[in-house]
């Protein structure tokens, strides 16, 4: 029996050439979009000192995670699900690497979404509180990466990741995958820990931020000479829009993936050859998140667009680029009142927009 025979794999159908070609084309477009949209954001944040804030560091980590994980996951997904491997050992190795980086993506994405929510809450509710220097930021990012690697490694060696994917049950005998524990409720780990929990935490934090912004608006309307300035309030609102939109995109794009896997884990007999395309379609849905958050950031971030335009003009005109930190200095120098100036300056640095 051939390894690529339809009776061996539900995802390699000789009689579904058009459907497979469509998914291959969509995945290739996703790969190009993820690389082309995340790479400029990463480069801009790295080289521009004005964007060296905790919020932008979180965005940098999110884009880096999207770029690395998706750049590996998309080609491996194409190889595993749509093409025949020269030998079984190569196929099983690629399959294990795919599951490993998928787990890393789950953990890093959910943790960074929560980290962005925490950063927004601290920047708005307690704008004058110091959030730590570069060492503190590096420590937080290192913890997120370490948690992602530890979780993916644990899933890899325990082979529990195979228990969460009913579409790969037929591959277990081929790849000599043992069953350490029965499937049970193992498939609920990802939807609960890396979808429901981050969304609940983010919703609570953003509710607090919205309440604080509402109070500041009332305070500004009641007392025009208040320390709450219109510019600072506008920057906070813009930062909130970025953060909330990222959470909404995260919730919408990942929902089909988790819902389909929960359903087919409960009813594995429903996963027939007639609907084999459903799970690949759900994979395409969650991969769309990897480029959509870059669009959200570029659309709402005035600072990023200004610096991108400045760099582009300097490259085209062969002129040296202006220091990126000048924007903060100009904003700080333009404020007359001393108290208002210190507050506005700190908010600019923390919000970074």
Instruction: Give the distance from CA 58 to its chain's centroid.
Output: 10
% residues pLDDT > 70 (the chain): 74
Q: Which residue has the higher pLDDT, 191 or 216?
A: 191
User: In the prediction, which pLDDT does 326 show?
Assistant: 45
Name all domains of the chain by residue range, CATH numbers in brackets. Answer: 17-351 (1.20.1070.10)
pLDDT band of 321, cuts 50, 70, 90 = very low
Q: What's the predicted TM-score (pTM) here?
A: 0.78
Residue 154 has pLDDT above 50, yes or no: yes
Q: Which residue has the higher pLDDT, 310 or 264?
A: 264
Q: Which residue has the higher pLDDT, 11 or 185?
A: 185
Under 8 Å CB-to-CB from 233, ≥6 apart: which residues?
Answer: 213, 216, 217, 220
Mean pLDDT of the chain: 77
pLDDT band of 332, cuts 50, 70, 90 = very low
Burial environment of residue 102 by CB neighbours within 10 A (0 to 12, 13 to 18, 19 or more): buried
Q: Which of 34-43, 125-134, 168-177 has the highest mean pLDDT?
A: 34-43
Contact between 198 and 114 (Cβ < 8 Å): yes
The mean pLDDT value for 239-257 works out to 89
User: In the prediction, which pLDDT does 19 show?
Assistant: 79
Q: Which of 148-162, 215-229, 263-277 has the highest mean pLDDT?
A: 148-162
User: In the prediction, which pLDDT does 26 show?
Assistant: 92
Residue 146 has pLDDT above 90, yes or no: yes
Residue 254 has pLDDT above 90, yes or no: yes
Q: Which residue has the higher pLDDT, 231 or 321?
A: 231
């Amino acid at each position: 029996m051939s390894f690529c025979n339809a009776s061996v794999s539900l995802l390699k159908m000789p009689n579904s050439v058009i459907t497979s070609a469509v998914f291959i084309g969509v995945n290739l477009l996703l790969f190009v979009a993820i690389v082309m949209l995340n790479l400029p954001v990463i480069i801009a944040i790295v080289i521009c000192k004005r964007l060296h804030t905790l919020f932008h560091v979180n965005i940098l980590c999110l884009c880096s995670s999207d770029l690395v994980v998706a750049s590996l996951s998309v080609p491996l997904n194409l190889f595993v699900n749509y093409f025949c491997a020269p030998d079984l050992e190569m196929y099983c190795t690629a399959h294990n690497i795919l599951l490993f980086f998928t787990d890393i993506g789950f953990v890093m994405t959910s943790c960074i979404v929560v980290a962005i929510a925490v950063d927004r809450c601290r920047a708005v509710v307690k704008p004058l509180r110091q959030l730590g220097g570069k060492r503190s930021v590096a420590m937080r990012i290192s913890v997120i990466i370490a948690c992602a690697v530890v979780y993916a490694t644990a899933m890899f060696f325990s082979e529990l990741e195979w228990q969460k994917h009913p579409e790969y049950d037929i591959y277990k005998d081929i790849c000599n995958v043992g069953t350490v524990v029965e499937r049970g409720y193992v498939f609920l780990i990802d939807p609960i820990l890396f979808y429901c929990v981050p969304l609940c935490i983010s919703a609570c934090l953003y509710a607090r931020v919205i309440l604080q912004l509402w109070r500041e608006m009332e305070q500004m309307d009641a007392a025009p000479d208040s320390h709450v300035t219109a510019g600072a309030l506008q920057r906070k609102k813009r930062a909130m829009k970025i953060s909330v939109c990222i959470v909404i995109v995260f919730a919408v794009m990942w929902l089909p993936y988790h819902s389909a896997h929960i359903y087919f884990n409960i009813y594995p007999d429903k996963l027939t050859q007639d609907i084999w395309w459903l799970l690949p379609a759900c994979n395409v849905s969650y991969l769309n998140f990897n480029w959509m958050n870059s669009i959200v950031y570029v659309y709402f971030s005035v600072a990023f667009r200004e610096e991108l335009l400045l760099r582009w003009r300097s490259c085209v005109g062969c002129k040296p680029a202006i220091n990126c930190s000048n924007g903060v200095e100009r904003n700080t120098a333009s404020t007359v009142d001393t108290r208002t100036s210190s507050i506005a300056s700190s908010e600019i640095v923390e919000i970074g927009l």
